Structure 1
């Protein structure tokens, strides 16, 4: 149910700076900022910004290989969304966005992918498969043998599962019945590749529930606290009444099926249910199914609703209940994922998966260790003096810590159908196998242990801090198969590959060689030395290593994917500050390399800009922090520019914590305009003649109370940044703007109500009244009633009358970020309107916390540039006029 808060009557009005006649006349150069700001349809920015946003990007990814790594799969399509797709009818039910017309999650409807491209990196050969006209595709997945690719084809009113035959390039629809893709938005193969498991719209489905039975509400929305303390953050969407509960049940109830890839025969499994996840065994004879369960809640979103994970046989009969997750209504955080490593006292089954090397399920479990042999006490007594356990001649019982074990559980899945593969310590976590099934790799108490499957006594400790690749251990997650580094260390992460439903460690053909990838971090020297990724081959029996790739000091070269088990060939990306990122084919222990992609720099105004990084010192206490300044490429010393500070404060309890947070920077990164979120490339400001300033704004204080110093540190830090930028000759002090998004927007308005330094500001998707987030925000965990003065002091809404400068507010109508409700912007604008402050408000339809469509992205940049041109570049040179009603 998409609910909109009514805009104030003058929501699109603003107090600008030019006579009305000038606003209506087009500017001589075709760019009229006054008219841009008043236009009530989507507008476009200056031509060079439009070009940089709209230019198609070159896809250089090699992250989705076939199981034999012959082909790499990419999807093709627009980099940004179409406003028409985002505007398709949809409802909100407890945080779940549903396209009711097409029986799917809205995220499927808004897919921009329109084709599949298969690339052979060795030969450069490509195979392109286009989606049917007027459709998009989503969630492509390889079959375990790499002979097929299954994916969703999304028509305007339905999604269907298709399978691509890699050999001949033909694509076939597997079922004429549409998918129910509200909770399960993908499909997968069984491990033998013969079947696709999917969730379809139930046959003979009834009509959707109607409000009140006849379209008229039959009562009020009812809430009772029942005197329970349930502190919650502010959620964008919660269920409102029994009708929405019925709608949720209706739109999430689907039919699990197995579809034969060759014959397209469809086998129904069990009765329709609210299926969250489904995962079939190798032969399709059993399925792991997670169902969403009632009761539903009015206090938390759907992601916190309860569920049960069950083992079904092929008829849908429940063979075993594997886990239960209760409704989670307490606390600010909490997701569905279970921790990879459980507490030693937890004896439940965890990290469950289908056994990738044979039949049955595989799980990790802690079990109590057998008691140590009793030792008679020297004095012949035990227990406390005179206590209940005292007994003549009794020996004290020595309790050992629980032990972790890896267990295989086979059909018929009774209590005695288990075999222990490995016994380790209580901190046993992730389990992966080699591609040839000969070796098991387990994370155990800070190390990775390699174990021969056929002889578990043959095992090797690969060293502390060696890690297994990142995997999502909660049911329904997928392992990371590309082999990219997930650790910033010299120990390294084992290289892996995703095959079908499982992730495997890449083990050499000799059964002894593994590959590890990692990064040498420069630490405190991050500002003059780049991180240096590396790739090693290691003998698991001796731990002797051979370096296969080492990133040079002046180039950032990162390992992407292996092409063979022995890593004779592999793919890397290369870039530095002046060379755009491209993919290369490397040969081990050789300088030989073949360029695989030809990337294009779409924003030379950004990549060629002048860059400065320096430290500033806060006068009060001598605290130092970093500032980055980007200047137009033709800037010359002595030319003071209009400037824009764009920032996002962060809280730290110590100076050391702040300094460590800076050490992830990569000074060899190419300054590209990104494709996924062009609006996040705020360096585009330099293309309009501005100095763009990005300062760190650290907020310091004792742990849990950093925000007590928020307004003081914010003001002092910005003062020091502004002084340094002016003293360096970069900017004109009288032509300064400021801006930020989300918490940066909140901080922007705080700055403009605390300081008189800024002619204009931009604040988007922020929260400006902390009394509307009474149970915490950002890193603040105290509630309003425990830290009332801090909450009030941090609420710029309460200082709206002190606002200095012209403020542009923007907000998405469907901002589902926790704690940044659109009401925050509409209420602040109403206050500024009442006070006669120069302000504008732009509310974007169909968008979330960060805009995703070309239309909104271009519109934002148009209005941002127009606002700063009027109030910063030309500030004070023209007269202010009355607000014009739309």
Structure 2
């Protein structure tokens, strides 16, 4: 009888664990909890001269109470209507300032009580930083005097930060343009209590509008009214002494941008009609140039509602787009127009053209460049030299152009033409410096520019600096990192003529810190920060990057961690967690490249599997899961086959080292990684259990493309069916833990995906558990949620992997 009672109690506990719907937040084991609660190092911002360092401190996580503050989801935005700032804004809670080479830092005086700080913006003279403070009733604009290490408030709590781009400095650093709440803003409609005045009607007029499954869209006239009121603002001129004067009247302002000489301001403002199909950034808008007194100079662009585009990732709208200022000239606007009607299916020699117009911005503009692929950006230099970039998704091609913006008859030189997924051939990024307008332009020394690159190669990662001759297009290497036991990142160029750059150096157990390096002197390093390692319990964990081959010969890699205290001589076989994220490639060469640095600091974050080395698990993190489709074959044509092959190769590689019991291997992933997990468990017997977080499982619910698949469901229904775990739920024989944020805003991974998939699994008798995290979006933020997430994962692994019954 006693034995029966004990068994009965055990079954009750087990049943409660699997069946209980309502459960309070739980915490993981102490070893994991201590790592989660380690305080993060501050963020670092530094002025262009490298004189001052500003340290921004924050809590590692929000609280569930913060995530429960009022939130309205409108037009792709998430807004706190009480405070008028994004409801998911990351806040800092303290600021310190130090001279770059001083050891100690100084606390900033004058900060508000219970600071929630965001939107930091250097003044043009780099003596001040403007920022926002969000209190209980609204948002205030503040300014930090860097040298004095003191802060003061500039405005009452009536700043409108709902649309972003809130703080913009005048060129002389004496004042800012600030978006403020209009005095006549109407009360918001309580959509839960409002009585409808009629149905919501949408119309299709025969044009194809194949849009992604956007979240948080407007749904009805009440949403439209609320969006408009939240988007409306007045623009005020706020001086650093606190004087506030009107500048522009009430409108739905998006972006504000001063010309380099400070004499003109380009302002974008949203107009009606709104849309129920696309987010706010595809609503109609007008771009107007004003002078510094707020007078209209001219309207330069009127963009209609952008609901309908041609099919394909490289499709774009027609008309003028990408309006911006030339950084190298006092007041010249440039923009881009599609030469293929925005349709990637149109066969043309050039896809885009770049035009410019000088103040007073009249006329059609002058063409200065054509790009063979879709335009992606320009780095301005001087009157004769500029660098432009383009890219094309379908073949992963990118081109870099050296062109003369003053002479459109001079043919551009293509100085790089490569597959952008080929990291080994990456020439690096051109180094910029601040010009007399305080704008970034090419750092030029006569005819020499500079390139700074990550330096991935077959032998490892060795970041570099190259000189690039603009006349001959030849490169000369002037610095290459020599570290073999540490990882060095070339963070920023301070003074290339002197050879002074800001670098970040770390190792497996050495927390990342910043240094000034003089590349003209051997081993010349000056410390800038001295952050301590907050994760010392992991500092002796064995970590290595392993390489192995798939059955078809494709080379793969993964980062292997052994459990805390693991005896490599005894080689006791342990359970393993494999964590991965699939990535699509158009060639095997790029897919097989090694881009993981073994000297990277062991940093556990909320979504990491590394925590479980404290619980006796081997962890294979960032296991390479390439999905390759060469030539006319698309990667997803053989998605499932390649997925299983990747997983088998990873398990075989670790098993061959003698570290694991291959019958006790779990697989986990987030987002597209969750999609991977569900497919692996449905179509292989390699795993004991799985963890799938915030995934999508039924691709017919994302019918106009997903991830890197641009074919629609009607183009290739077999692809959508074959790749959807929901369609194969009857094949699930492996325990699966599903976790999802109830407020997921990511395109395609709405919570319905996990709910419907779990219902299918439950209906078919599979072992599964669905955990919906209240208030959480695609990435999880509240400490309570994250601790509970780790508890759920630990219990699942303990039950179905570590203590798996044979």
TM-score by length of 1: 0.77
Match of 1:807 among 736, 759, 763: 736
**Which aligned pairs between 1:662-673 and structure 2 lie closer than 5 A?**
662-663=593-594, 665-673=595-603
What's the CA shift string for 1:42-67, capped at 9, x where partnerless?
21111111111221133474xx3334
Q: For residue 687 of structure 1, what is the aligned residue in structure 2?
A: 614
Q: Displacement, 1:136?
A: 0.6
Secondary structure (helix, strand or coil) at the match of 1:107 reads coil
Deviating more after overlay: 566-575 vs 603-612? 603-612
Q: 2:430 aligns with which of 479, 484, 493?
A: 493
Distance 2:680 2:351 in 1: 54
Paired position in structure 2 for 1:371: none
Q: What TM-score, normalized to structure 2?
A: 0.84
Shift in alpha-carbon separation, 1:19–1:696, aligned structure 2, 3 A: farther
* Cα distance in 2, alignment partners of residues 240 and 808 from structure 1: 33
1:779 aligns with 2:708: yes
**Is 1:566 matched up with 2:535?**
no
The runs of 5 or more residues in structure 1 that have no matched partner are 1-17, 27-31, 340-345, 369-399, 471-485, 878-886
Contact 1:191 1:283 in 2 (8 A): yes
Q: Distance in 1 between matches of 2:313 and 2:132?
A: 27
Cα distance 1:570–1:580, how it changes in 2: closer, same or farther (>3 A)?
A: same
CA RMSD after TM alignment: 4.2
Larger radius of gyration: 1
Residues 1:105 and 2:93 aligned together: no
Q: Give the structure 2 partner of residue 651 of structure 1.
A: 584
Q: Distance in 1 between matches of 2:138 and 2:315?
A: 30
1:257 to partner: Cα distance: 1.6
Task: Name the residue aligned to 1:361.
Answer: 332
Aligned partner of 1:699 in structure 2 is 627
Per the alignment, residue 203 of structure 1 pairs with 183
Residues 1:589 and 2:525 aligned together: no
The match for 1:54 is: 37
C-alpha displacement of 1:788: 2.2
Partner of 1:481: none
> Compared with structure 1, are the counterparts of its residues 251 and 730 closer, same or farther at alpha carbon in structure 2 (3 Å cutoff)?
same
1:162 lines up with 2:90 in the alignment: no
Aligned length: 769
1:531 and 2:461 matched:
yes
Counterpart contact for 1:76–1:114, Cα < 8 Å: yes
When residues 498 and 219 of structure 1 are mapped into structure 2, their CA distance, relative to the original with a 3 A threshold, is farther
Counterpart secondary structure, 2:195: coil
* Deviation (angstroms), 1:100: 0.6
User: Relative contact order (C-alpha < 8 Å, sep 6+): which is higher?
Assistant: 1
703-712 or 804-813, larger mean C-alpha shift:
703-712
**Alpha-carbon offset, residue 242 of structure 1:** 1.1
1:756 Cα shift? 3.5
8 Å contact 2:313–2:710 — kept in the other structure?
Answer: no
**Structure 1 residues 465-512: Cα deviation after superposition (integer angstroms, max 9, x where no partner):** 599xx9xxxxxxxxxxxxxxx99645752243499872244456xx77
Structure 1 pair 439–727 and aligned structure 2 pair: CA distance change class (3 A): same
Q: 1:606–1:683: 8 Å Cα contact kept in structure 2?
A: no
Is the partner of 1:140 in helix, strand or coil? strand
Taking a change above 3 Å as real, the CA distance of residues 539 and 66 of structure 1, as seen in their structure-2 partners, is: same
2:54 is equivalent to residue 121 of structure 1: no
**CA displacement, residues 777-832 of structure 1 (integer Å, 9 cap, x when unaligned):** 22222222332233222222233233212211100011111111101111222233
SS at 2:46's partner residue? coil
For 1:474, the equivalent position in structure 2 comes to none
Q: Contact 1:513–1:566 at 8 Å: present in 2 too? A: no
Q: For residues 494-542 of structure 1, what are the alpha-carbon distances to aligned partners after superposition, in whole Å with 9 as ceiling and x for unaligned?
A: 243499872244456xx777544234431xx2xxx22211235678789
**How much has 1:219 moved relative to structure 2?**
2.6
Q: In structure 1, what is the equivalent of residue 24 of structure 2?
A: 41
Matching of residues 602-751 of structure 1 within 5 Å? 602-604=534-536, 606-619=538-551, 621=552, 625-633=556-564, 634-636=566-568, 637-659=570-592, 662-663=593-594, 665-674=595-604, 678-694=605-621, 695-701=623-629, 703=632, 705-751=634-680
In structure 2, stretches of 5+ residues that fail to align are: 1-5, 340-348, 389-398
Does the Cα contact within 8 Å between 1:616 and 1:724 map onto a contact in 2?
Answer: yes
Q: Is 1:141 aligned to 2:121, yes or no?
A: yes
**Distance (whole Å) between structure 2 residues aligned to residue 403 and residue 756 of structure 1:** 49
Match of 2:456 among 505, 508, 521: 521
SS at match of 2:453: strand
- Tell me, yes or no, if structure 1 residue 551 matches structure 2 residue 471: no
Deviation of 1:429 (Å):
8.7
1 CA distance for matches of 2:127 and 2:319?
A: 41
2:748 and 2:27 mapped to 1: Cα distance? 30
